[in-house]
Amino acid sequence: MIQRISAAISPTVVLGLTILWLLLQQTVALDQVLLGVMLAVLLAWASSKLRPLRAHVRRIDLAAGLVLVVFWEIVRSNLAVARIVLGLVRDREVRSGFVKIPLALRDPHGLAVLAAIITATPGTVWAGLSPDGQRLTLHILDIGEEQQWIRYVKERFEGPLMRIFE
């Protein structure tokens, strides 16, 4: 029985919930750490019934690096969108549109993370995934060169996500 319960509990979820609890409590006092761990284990166990698929993070070091890349890309994209909104793009025409990007990533958790990254980055929106899961459609505020966008998404996000999840 205990082995079945422990198999259903994701250590990543427990760690994340414990950290969230400590951030909300704004303390790392021992009693709050213990309470946070107990609540995290209970919530992870209860929520495990709701998750039909479990994520398997293969490279946590790459995941940490990807977080930094995403943070940088969000800052950079915010500045680029601000330049467009403020009219600081000189006499260049801003052209928005859709780009279809071929995907090799198949893991549903990796695709979900890619969707979150794309949508969190200003100037880009995940517009759809083909029924066969092989093409991502992005809407881009300032499209420029389509091949650059394909290379950008595949190198900056899809490649690391494949190494993390597959």
> Is 19 among the domain residues?
yes
Residues 92, 147 within the same domain: yes
Using a cut of 0.75, tell me whether the model's pTM lies above it: no
Predicted confidence at residue 5, as pLDDT, reads 47
Domain that holds residue 103: 60-165
Position 139 in a domain: yes
Last residue of a domain, one of 50, 69, 86: 50
* Total count of domains within the chain: 2
**152 close to 159: Cβ distance less than 8 angstroms:** no
CA separation, residue 7 to residues 12, 54, 107, 115 (Å): 13, 11, 21, 28
143 and 80 assigned to the same domain: yes
Q: What is the pLDDT along the chain (166 residues), one digit of tens a residue?
A: 444 444 567 788 899 999 999 999 999 999 999 999 999 999 988 887 777 677 777 888 898 899 999 999 999 999 999 999 998 887 788 889 999 999 999 988 899 999 999 999 999 999 999 999 899 999 999 988 899 999 999 999 999 999 998 8
CA end-to-end span of the chain, whole Å? 30
Q: For residues 44 and 64, state if they share a domain.
A: no
Q: What pLDDT score was predicted for residue 3?
A: 45
Residue 42, both tokens? 């209970």
Q: Are residues 144 and 72 in the same domain?
A: yes
Return the pLDDT at 1.
42
In a domain, 117, yes or no: yes
Q: 93 with 130, same domain?
A: yes
